């Protein structure tokens, strides 16, 4: 069995330059190959070794070098052991050369290898390793602008997207431990398989950071559930768009906004997570405006609509916990939203008064003369929630009071009543003298927004139930 040695060093490492005499001694005693990551001149005195410049860092990558100097013992060209840094006693024992480096210090730490530097490591994986990326590569000519190339290939929602290069997609996939080939489901309308890799590609285009990937994946998983009914509302002439609500510790970890302008611009996590979901729907499911997507007006939410619930300084239970997620877990709930109907009540200081304001505004959702199959989201500001919390009202108490106030006389809602042709069918009205404006449990209360403003946002939802209905879906973030 033949024993040889392999050393990985770099000139830009004081310990590597320090031990050059020891390398020269080792080379005289046994077969030694040295790969240097940056320069060969500093090894000129090591005349008995084979010295090679590892300028591509392929050797360093393949040997998984993290620290230089690294000395590897080979038997019949197979690695059996390695040591890193410089320890005189360790090198002497490792090489069986009792006097090796006798004039050198007893110990010096190593330095980080060039192949593990953050801006290089991922590129080396793509060049010499297995990135796991299976998507086909699309060549863009040198004279073609990458962003314009994405527009011309119809990958955009109308705003510029980040070109999804292999390197960017690989880095995005580092944000999740899940297999890039895992299929989450099939996207309406074309039933295309949705893999983690495809989600990562669209997350890159949306401008996400890798740490957002678990949230994006959970949002996509929720939207793919049959109960969510994406096919119906995305192909409708109505206004609805996906609404992504995030709860739990991850909202702080990735810097999501639950306060000032939570529905608006200025926060990268909010903006890009919601956009990634919409780009997946568009690019994987081929749901494009004017084609499958037939909304008369559209909705800015089809660019992005994502926010965190404001869970700070409140006695209220979060949306996720209400929907069965254990306290302390992070989760995504995907709903539908037609748009924001603002309600301002700056006078009510009791729950009873504020309930009347909310009820009055809620009667107009979709149409004042329609009821029964709607859900609705209430985005309650901290100042409005405080009116209820100070009186000891929970979200369940608010919901119960609103449901009671929204049991409406159907005679006022029948077609033609009050001179308005719109309204409910006479046969239904005759059989149901009192109707509920919303389905039981269909009022979804989310505490969100800043501490300044006695406001509530009313967001109507797509009809719930039936073959073409949509229900909120919650997924724990893995």
Give the DSSP letter string of 44-86.
TT-TTSEEEE-TT-HHHHHTT--EESEEEEEETTEEEEEEESE
Cα dihedral 332, 337, 343, 349 sign: negative
State the pairing for strand pair 3-9/32-36: parallel
- Please report the pLDDT score of residue 70 as a whole number: 98
Q: What pTM was computed for the model?
A: 0.91
- Please report the pLDDT score of residue 465 as a whole number: 66
**Residue 402 resides in a domain:** yes
Does the pLDDT at position 463 exceed 90? no
What does pLDDT average to over the chain? 96
Among 96, 115, 134, where does a domain finish?
115
**Residue 292 resides in a domain:** no
**Residue 7 resides in a domain:** yes
The mean pLDDT value for 167-180 works out to 96
Q: Tokens in use for 267?
A: 């926060």
- Please report the pLDDT score of residue 350 as a whole number: 98
For residues 407 and 434, the answer to whether their CB atoms sit within 8 Å is yes
Among 85, 115, 145, where does a domain finish?
115
Does the pLDDT at position 364 exceed 80? yes
For residues 246 and 217, the answer to whether their CB atoms sit within 8 Å is no
The CA distance from 23 to 91, in Å, is: 10
- Please report the pLDDT score of residue 372 as a whole number: 74
**Residue 165 resides in a domain:** no
Q: Tokens in use for 384?
A: 């409005």
Neighbours of 350 (CB within 10 A): 12
Q: Tokens in use for 258?
A: 């639950």
Residues in the chain: 478
**Residue 404 resides in a domain:** yes
**Residue 430 resides in a domain:** yes
Kindly provide the residue ranges of all beta strands, DSSP E only, lying in 252-365, ordered along the sequence. Answer: 306-308, 331-337, 341-344
Share of the chain above pLDDT 90, in %: 91
What does the pLDDT look like over 192-216, one tens digit per residue? 999 999 999 999 999 999 999 999 9
The CA distance from 62 to 8, in Å, is: 12
**Residue 19 resides in a domain:** yes
**Residue 248 resides in a domain:** no
CA dihedral 339, 272, 395, 340 (to 10 degrees): -10
Residue 75's CATH number: 3.40.30.10
Spatial CA neighbour of 318 closest among 235, 268, 245, 386: 245
Cα dihedral 154, 157, 158, 160 sign: negative
Does the pLDDT at position 466 exceed 70? no
The mean pLDDT value for 113-134 works out to 92
What does the pLDDT look like over 411-442, one tens digit per residue? 999 999 999 999 999 999 999 999 999 988 99
Does the pLDDT at position 383 exceed 70? yes
Query: What is the total count of domains within the chain?
Result: 2
Does the pLDDT at position 470 exceed 70? yes
Three-class SS state of 359: helix
Does the pLDDT at position 156 exceed 90? yes
Among 115, 150, 175, where does a domain finish?
115
- Whether residue 47 has a cis bond before it, omega within 30° of 0: no
pLDDT band at 170 (very low <50, low <70, confident <90, very high): very high
Q: Which of 5-9, 113-117, 188-192, 240-244 has the lowest mean pLDDT?
A: 188-192
Q: Which domain holds residue 369?
A: 339-460
- Please report the pLDDT score of residue 142 as a whole number: 86
- Please report the pLDDT score of residue 232 as a whole number: 86
Cα dihedral 135, 138, 142, 144 sign: negative
The mean pLDDT value for 125-142 works out to 89
């Amino acid at each position: 069995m033949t024993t040889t040695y392999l050393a990985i060093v770099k000139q830009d490492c004081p310990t590597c330059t320090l031990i050059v005499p020891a390398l020269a001694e080792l080379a005289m005693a046994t077969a030694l190959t040295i790969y240097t990551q940056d320069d060969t001149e500093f090894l000129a005195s090591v005349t008995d070794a084979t010295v090679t410049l590892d300028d591509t860092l392929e050797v360093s990558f393949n040997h998984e070098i993290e620290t230089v100097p690294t000395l590897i013992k080979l038997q019949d060209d197979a690695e059996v052991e390695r040591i890193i840094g410089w320890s005189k006693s360790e090198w002497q024992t490792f090489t069986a050369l009792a006097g090796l480096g006798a004039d050198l210090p007893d110990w010096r730490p190593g330095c980080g290898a060039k192949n593990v530097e953050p801006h290089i490591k991922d590129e080396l994986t793509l060049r010499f390793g297995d990135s796991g990326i299976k998507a086909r590569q699309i060549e863009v000519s040198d004279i073609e602008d990458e962003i314009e190339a994405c527009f011309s290939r119809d990958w955009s929602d109308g705003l510029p997207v980040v070109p999804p290069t292999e390197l960017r997609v690989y880095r995005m996939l580092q944000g999740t431990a899940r297999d890039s080939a895992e299929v989450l489901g099939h996207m309406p309308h074309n039933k295309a398989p949705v893999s983690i890799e495809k989600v990562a590609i669209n997350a890159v285009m949306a401008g996400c950071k890798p740490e957002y990937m678990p949230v994006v994946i959970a949002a996509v998983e929720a939207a793919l559930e049959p109960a969510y009914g994406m096919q119906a509302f995305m192909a409708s002439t109505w206004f609805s768009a996906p609404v992504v609500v995030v709860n739990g510790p991850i909202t702080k970890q990735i810097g999501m906004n639950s306060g000032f302008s939570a529905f608006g611009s200025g926060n990268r996590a909010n903006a890009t997570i919601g956009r990634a979901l919409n780009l997946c729907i568009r690019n994987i499911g081929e749901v494009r405006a004017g084609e499958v997507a037939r909304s008369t007006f559209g909705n800015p939410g089809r660019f992005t609509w994502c926010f965190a619930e404001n869970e700070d300084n409140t006695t209220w239970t979060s949306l996720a916990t209400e929907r069965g997620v254990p306290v302390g877990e992070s989760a995504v709930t995907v709903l539908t939203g037609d748009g924001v109907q603002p309600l301002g009540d700056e006078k009510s200081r009791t729950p009873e008064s504020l309930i009347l304001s909310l009820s009055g505004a809620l009667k107009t959702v979709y149409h004042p003369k329609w009821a029964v199959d709607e859900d609705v989201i209430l985005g309650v500001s901290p100042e409005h929630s405080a009116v209820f919390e100070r009186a000891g009202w929970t979200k369940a108490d608010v919901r119960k009071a609103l449901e009671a106030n929204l049991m409406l006389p159907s005679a006022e809602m029948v077609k033609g009543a009050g001179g308005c042709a719109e309204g409910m069918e006479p046969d239904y009205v005759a059989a149901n003298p009192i109707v509920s404006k919303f389905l039981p449990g269909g009022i979804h209360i989310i505490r969100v927004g800043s501490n300044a403003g006695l406001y509530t946002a009313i967001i109507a939802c797509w009809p719930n139930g039936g073959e073409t209905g949509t229900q909120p879906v919650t997924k724990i973030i893995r």
